[in-house]
Amino acid sequence: MRNKGNRQTCVKCGKSWNVSSQAKIPSSGYVCPHCTGKKNRQNDRPIKRTSPVGWFKKNIAYIIAALAGFILMPAAIEAAYKERGYFGIGGEYLLPLLFVLIVAVVSEARDMFQEIVAIVNEPGGETHEE
């Protein structure tokens, strides 16, 4: 027969929980994972809801890149058609995605560069003097 384990009652909600026999129970009593999670969520900052305007401002570069890709896509399709001599589906349909990817890479590189500059300019940092 299987060992049922160590049953403990939560001091917050009163529910009974199966707890490992190796778990260290504080002298104040056992607090279950649900009550611990509630406590942690209450200590966290409240979720900041962004307005649609805030979302738009945050993602304007991506929106412009996608629109530019969609605007240039018909010209790219026509140029590919003239080059091939027949209608085909190729990389010209990925133009909007390429523009968005370029914006994402540039944005990430800018953020990484700013972090590196902040670390280098940090007071009390390491110095490499000879």
pLDDT at 20 over 60: yes
Same domain, 15 and 65: no
pLDDT band with cut points at 50, 70 and 90 for residue 67:
very high
pLDDT value at residue 98: 94
Same domain, 79 and 101: yes
Q: Which amino acid is at 80?
A: A
Domain ranges, residue 109: 52-120
Residue in the block written with tokens 């390429």 = 98
CA 126, 130, 115 angle in degrees (round to 5)?
30
pLDDT value at residue 126: 56
> What is the domain count for the chain?
2
Answering whether pTM is above 0.75, one says: no
